[in-house]
Amino acid sequence: MNAPDTSTRELPMIECVGLTRRFGKFTAVDDVTFSVARGSIFGFLGPNGSGKSTVIRVLCALLEPSAGTARVGGFDVVRETEHMKPLIGYMSQKFSLYDELTVRENLSFYGRLYGFHGARLRKRFDELVAMTHLEPYLDRRAALLSGGWRQRLAMSCALVHEPLVLFLDEPTAGIDPVARRELWDLLFDFASRGMTLFVTTHYMDEAERCSKVGYIHLSRLIACGLPADLKRLPEVNPPGMRRIEVACDDATSGLRVLRGVPWVRSATAFGQSMHLLVDAAATDDALRSLLEENGIGAVDVRPTGPTLEDVFVSLTDRANGGAR
């Protein structure tokens, strides 16, 4: 067994260089390069079918790359698979569990699979149950668990062997907000204890919580970095433009008015307010009077920064424009 080696601390826990995977003529992942430092949470975003799951599967040695290399925990996923496997945990999109088995039996099975027996198995079992609060459901069949509990059980199973790297493929799809928040609390806790997390998600608020994010679009990684760095990219903050948040008493009508104005580059609804990208020359007063002319009052203008959603929208537009 490979004990965590302090000398690898400075090396990235996950590293892809020019990673490419083709299925026949279709290229699912195209020349993807990124790295994830130990103890960080990497958020991997992108629309369905963009190649997120394929990247995870290559990193978990479930698929072989067509080109490029991938290393996890310092081990090559193709040539050093057997060394790599004990280091990783994987929670698939479907929360793959054995429906006929109870919660207790599912956990015991994965424990045994990773070589736990007797007292060691019991000790690890108790730790996992305490951590995920699965206690009341121990004798329930996995088939009868609700989404949130299935996800907890699947995560416990993936954590049985205390992996250094945990891959979670859309862990929060279809679960309630309470379970979602509790999951993230756990993930932060793991990260603080040195575990490296690789999480795919569709939720922008989850992306904001990550220490590093990557955005994959049409099989290519079009953005990768710390959320703060991404928000400072020039593509996201075009020169001569500024971002403002505008609160008013009728945001829906406001959007309709503003979308026809040449100095408004983009306008997005955000609850009762609007996020705008406008020419730096346009003043708040000009905006306020324009809205009031159209019968919209209680206008309050505040400067704001880009959200990660703004980042991904800008970069996607640019990628699509480049393709055209």
Partner 1 sequence: MSVFRGFRAILYKEFLVVLRDPFTLFLMLFPPLIEMVAFGYALETDVRRMRTALLDEDHTVESRQIVERFVNTDTFRIVERVGSSEELAAAVRKGRVYVGIDIPPGFSRDLAAGRTARIQVLVDGSNSSVAGSALNTAVAVALKESMARLALAAGTRELPFEVRPQMLFNPAMRSPNFFVPGVIGVVLQIATTFATAMSLVRERERGTLEQLFVSPLRRWGLLFGKLVPYLFISGLMAFALFAVMSGLFKVPIAGSAWVLAFATLLYLFALLALGLLLSTRAQNQMQALQFSMVFVMPSVFFSGFIFPRDTMPWIFRSIGSCLPTTYFIETARGVVLRGATLADVAPHLVVLAGMGAGLFALCALRFRWKLG
Residues that bind partner 1 (CB under 8 A): 23, 57, 60-64, 82, 85-86, 88-90, 92-94, 96-101, 105, 108-110, 112-115, 141, 157
Choose among 85, 42, 37: nearest CA to 61.
85
- Minimum distance between the CB of residue 117 and partner 1, rounded to whole angstroms? 9
**C-beta closer to partner 1: residue 102 or 172:** 102
- From CA 155, how far away is CA 95, in angstroms rounded? 8
Q: Which string of DSSP letters, residue by residue, matches 128-153? A: HHHHHT-GGGTTSBGGG--HHHHHHH
DSSP-derived pairing of the beta strands 196-201 and 165-169 = parallel
DSSP collapsed to 3 states, 205-219: HHHHHCCEEEEEECC
Q: How is residue 207 written in tokens?
A: 């992306």
- Minimum distance between the CB of residue 228 and partner 1, rounded to whole angstroms? 33
**C-beta closer to partner 1: residue 72 or 315:** 72
| Cβ-proximal residues to 51 (8 Å cutoff; 6+ apart), any chain | 21, 28, 29, 30, 32, 216, 219
- Minimum distance between the CB of residue 68 and partner 1, rounded to whole angstroms? 16
Q: How far is CA 305 from CA 214, 244, 252, 276, 302, in A?
A: 19, 8, 22, 10, 10
- Minimum distance between the CB of residue 28 and partner 1, rounded to whole angstroms? 9
**C-beta closer to partner 1: residue 103 or 223:** 103
**C-beta closer to partner 1: residue 93 or 268:** 93
8 Å CB contact between 316 and 297: no
- Minimum distance between the CB of residue 96 and partner 1, rounded to whole angstroms? 4
**C-beta closer to partner 1: residue 155 or 224:** 155
- Minimum distance between the CB of residue 264 and partner 1, rounded to whole angstroms? 46
**C-beta closer to partner 1: residue 13 or 308:** 13
